[in-house]
């Protein structure tokens, strides 16, 4: 042990306060006799099937903590379920992060194991861990067993979007649609494609916040229960050695996380989450920095939506260690791993790349798989997942068709569809962090039905929103500043020419400056529809996407690290 336990400020002594504190823990079955108190943050919930299996990991975790000389206490945390929360689980990511951080701060905890799985529970846990700065590991629930339909293995999200297209174009009838619901409603665990959850699991491992080999271990597998045991043991060790997230999460690890994100064709949402984590630690995950890293990284993982397989195949092929091995000198071998070793050690033991995780000599798509664009339409930047886009649309100029909100798009799309040509650029605004609020995953605007029936599969779509990590198409996202705060997206009108040039890193609104100035004079912010509660607070404090959509009051790096968690 490197010093006094943090919990001793509550538990040591003979006065009535210490006595009461010890008694309170004893009544929960803990043994507050000088052992490290390890909090297990439980995000399992019937409302969040992705996290439901975490319940079964608590017992092995608790036993491992006790066996290693700690004492475990389980506490509930808001569970952010992507499937059921409206308007978006993202609206609550910062709330869950605050809840976790403040719980860690207020209680006599020496270390944390954060149970997480679905898209937003993982970044919320990482953000909280970074700010609370107690020795911490994440234990992730893993991807769900693939659903089967008519002999076909369904990848979460991605195959749903494909079947939605089949339904809209008349190739999938009502019976097939009903069958799909039953097939999907059978398993728990995270999405098994390279959506946000799988992406964030890999990035968590790259950031050394979960044990090597942990990311992507399938839900309900024996490996996962065994991982719970190793996680419990390791976190007690980390308390003894005072290994905290602010030391563990380094720029080297963060840069590797950005490389991994690009190499797996991961979720664009992860760019926002990494920026939020970096913002809390004073590290750099700015769009310019990310773009420099993305420039060199090809697609190496054959996993949906950019490839054909699922997370289970990725893990069987060696997981993150093999991917880092495939990246070779593009990855930083000095970055730490969560078990105290380095990336170099992990890579040395990893299986060689093959089919699912390719060597660079047989890349699946060239670099970059992700790109940042800037210009008069997005002065502070926007992002596009190049690997999921159509090559021929990466340089495209076309007339804008503008929808002022998601509701407007849903209402008018079909009426206006006949007037929309295949070269149109579909613009949707009002979907940003402030505008929606919470920046929902509305960015994959559907191809208008008449065009889809005529065989058009992709168009350029631009918004200040996000899209699901399981989505695909030539979709420009996270336009900043967003329209709601007066970004140029607010000024676009039907018929304006928009030029997208991904190789040049540009996105421009080809409208004369004086015309735009007139439009700006005529523009005024709409009154907030939120007068009370969390959405009102959220609108007031949330930063733009390039800053991770974190809160201004949470984002600043802590000047004095030792004082992050009193005492």
Residues that bind ligand FES (CB under 6 A): 50, 82-83, 118-119, 156, 190-191, 195, 197
Which of ligand FES, Mg ion, none is residue 544 near (CB under 5 to 8 Å by kind)?
none
Kindly state the DSSP code that residue 309 receives in the 8-state scheme.
Answer: B
Compare residues 119 and 133 and give the one whose CB is closer to Mg ion. 119
Helix H, strand E, coil C: the string for 150-217 is CCEEECCCHHHHHHHHHHHCCCCCHHHHHHHHHHHCCCCCECCCCCHHHHHHHHHHHCCCCCCCCCCC
Question: Within positions 54 to 83, which residues make up the interface with Mg ion, using CB under 5 A?
Answer: 82
Q: Is 34 left (phi over 0), alpha (psi -120 to 50) or beta?
A: left
Compare residues 190 and 387 and give the one whose CB is closer to ligand FES. 190
Q: Say whether residue 196 binds Mg ion (CB under 5 A).
A: yes
Compare residues 197 and 371 and give the one whose CB is closer to Mg ion. 197
Whose CB is nearest to Mg ion? 468
Q: Say whether residue 48 binds Mg ion (CB under 5 A).
A: no
Q: Say whether residue 51 binds Mg ion (CB under 5 A).
A: no
Beta carbon of residue 320, minimum distance to ligand FES (angstroms, whole number): 18
Which of Mg ion, ligand FES, none is residue 468 near (CB under 5 to 8 Å by kind)?
Mg ion
Estimate the share of the chain in helix, then strand, then coil, as percent rounded to the nearest 5: 45, 15, 45
Beta carbon of residue 192, minimum distance to ligand FES (angstroms, whole number): 9
β-pair partners for 147: 154
Kindly state the DSSP code that residue 379 receives in the 8-state scheme.
Answer: E
- Please state, in angstroms and rounded to a whole number, the distance separating the CA atoms of residues 226 and 165: 41
Compare residues 51 and 468 and give the one whose CB is closer to Mg ion. 468
Beta carbon of residue 80, minimum distance to ligand FES (angstroms, whole number): 9
Which of ligand FES, Mg ion, none is residue 52 near (CB under 5 to 8 Å by kind)?
none
Query: What is the CB neighbour count within 10 angstroms for residue 201?
Result: 28
Q: Is 522 helix (H, G, I), strand (E, B) or coil?
A: helix
Beta carbon of residue 159, minimum distance to ligand FES (angstroms, whole number): 13
Q: How far is CA 431 from the centre of its chain?
A: 17
Largest CA distance in the chain: 80
Beta carbon of residue 468, minimum distance to ligand FES (angstroms, whole number): 8
Residue in the structure block whose two tokens are 């990494």: 274
Beta carbon of residue 195, minimum distance to Mg ion (angstroms, whole number): 5
Q: Say whether residue 131 binds Mg ion (CB under 5 A).
A: no
Alpha-carbon distance values, 148 to 51, 67, 482 (Å): 21, 40, 40
Beta carbon of residue 121, minimum distance to ligand FES (angstroms, whole number): 8
Which of ligand FES, Mg ion, none is residue 83 near (CB under 5 to 8 Å by kind)?
ligand FES
Compare residues 82 and 484 and give the one whose CB is closer to Mg ion. 82
Stretch that binds Mg ion, among 22-30, 196-204, 305-313, 394-402 (CB under 5 A): 196-204
CA angle 443–447–451, rounded 5-degree value:
165
Among 188, 192, 193, 468, binds Mg ion (CB under 5 A): 468
Task: Kindly report whether the peptide bond that precedes residue 365 is cis, defined as omega within 30 degrees of 0.
Answer: no
Beta carbon of residue 120, minimum distance to Mg ion (angstroms, whole number): 9
- Residue of 461, 470, 508, 465 lying closest to 488 (CA atoms): 508
Which of ligand FES, Mg ion, none is residue 474 near (CB under 5 to 8 Å by kind)?
none
Which of ligand FES, Mg ion, none is residue 65 near (CB under 5 to 8 Å by kind)?
none
Query: What is the CB neighbour count within 10 angstroms for residue 419?
Result: 11
Which of ligand FES, Mg ion, none is residue 476 near (CB under 5 to 8 Å by kind)?
none
């Amino acid at each position: 042990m490197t010093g006094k336990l943090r919990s001793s400020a509550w538990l040591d002594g003979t006065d009535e306060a210490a006595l009461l504190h010890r008694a309170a823990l004893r009544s929960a079955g803990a043994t507050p006799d000088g052992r490290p108190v390890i909090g297990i943050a439980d995000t399992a919930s019937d409302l969040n099937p992705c996290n439901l299996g975490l319940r079964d990991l608590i017992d092995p975790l608790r036993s491992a903590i006790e066996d290693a000389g700690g004492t475990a206490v389980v506490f509930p945390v808001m569970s952010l379920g992507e499937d059921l929360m409206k308007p978006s689980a993202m609206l609550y990511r910062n709330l869950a992060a605050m809840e976790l951080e403040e719980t860690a701060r207020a209680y006599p905890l020496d270390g944390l194991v954060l149970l997480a799985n679905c898209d937003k529970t993982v970044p919320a846990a990482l953000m909280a861990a970074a700010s609370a700065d107690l020795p911490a590991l994440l234990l992730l629930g893993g991807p769900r067993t693939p659903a089967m339909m008519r002999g076909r293995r369904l990848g979460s999200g991605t195959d749903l979007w494909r079947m939605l297209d089949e339904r809209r174009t008349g190739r999938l009838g009502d019976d097939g649609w009903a069958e799909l619901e039953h097939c999907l409603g059978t398993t728990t665990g995270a999405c098994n494609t390279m959506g946000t959850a799988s992406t964030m699991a890999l990035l968590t491992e790259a950031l050394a916040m979960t044990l090597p080999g942990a990311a992507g271990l399938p839900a309900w597998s024996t490996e996962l229960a065994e991982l719970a045991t190793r996680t419990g043991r390791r976190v007690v060790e980390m308390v003894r050695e005072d290994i905290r997230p602010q030391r563990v999460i380094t720029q080297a690890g963060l840069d590797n996380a950005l490389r991994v994100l690009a190499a797996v064709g991961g979720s664009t949402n992860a760019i926002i989450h990494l920026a939020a984590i970096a913002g809390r630690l004073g590290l750099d995950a700015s769009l310019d920095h990310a773009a420099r890293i993305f420039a060199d990284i090809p697609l190496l993982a054959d996993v949906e939506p950019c490839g054909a397989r699922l997370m289970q195949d990725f893990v069987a092929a060696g997981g993150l260690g093999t991917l880092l091995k495939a990246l070779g000198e593009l990855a930083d071998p000095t970055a730490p791993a969560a078990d105290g070793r380095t990336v170099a050690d992990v890579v040395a033991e990893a299986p060689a790349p093959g089919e699912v995780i390719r060597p660079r000599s047989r890349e699946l798509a060239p670099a970059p798989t992700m790109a940042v664009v800037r210009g008069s339409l997005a002065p502070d930047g926007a992002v596009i997942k190049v690997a999921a886009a159509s090559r021929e649309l990466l340089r495209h100029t076309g007339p804008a068709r503008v929808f002022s909100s998601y509701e407007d798009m849903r209402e008018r799309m079909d009426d206006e569809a006949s007037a929309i040509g295949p070269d149109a650029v579909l613009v949707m605004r009002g979907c940003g962090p402030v505008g929606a609020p919470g920046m929902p995953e509305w960015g994959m605007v559907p191809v208008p039905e008449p065009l889809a029936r005529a065989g058009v599969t992709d168009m350029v779509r631009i918004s200040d929103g996000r899209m699901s990590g399981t989505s695909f198409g030539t979709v420009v996202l996270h336009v900043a500043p967003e329209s709601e705060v007066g970004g140029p997206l607010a000024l676009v009108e039907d018929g304006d020419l928009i030029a997208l040039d991904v190789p040049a890193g540009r996105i421009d609104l080809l409208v004369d400056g004086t015309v735009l100035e007139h439009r700006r004079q005529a523009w005024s912010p709409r009154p907030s529809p939120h007068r009370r509660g969390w959405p009102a607070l959220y609108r007031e404090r949330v930063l733009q996407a390039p800053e991770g959509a974190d809160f201004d009051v949470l984002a600043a790096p802590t000047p004095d690290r030792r004082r992050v968690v009193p005492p």
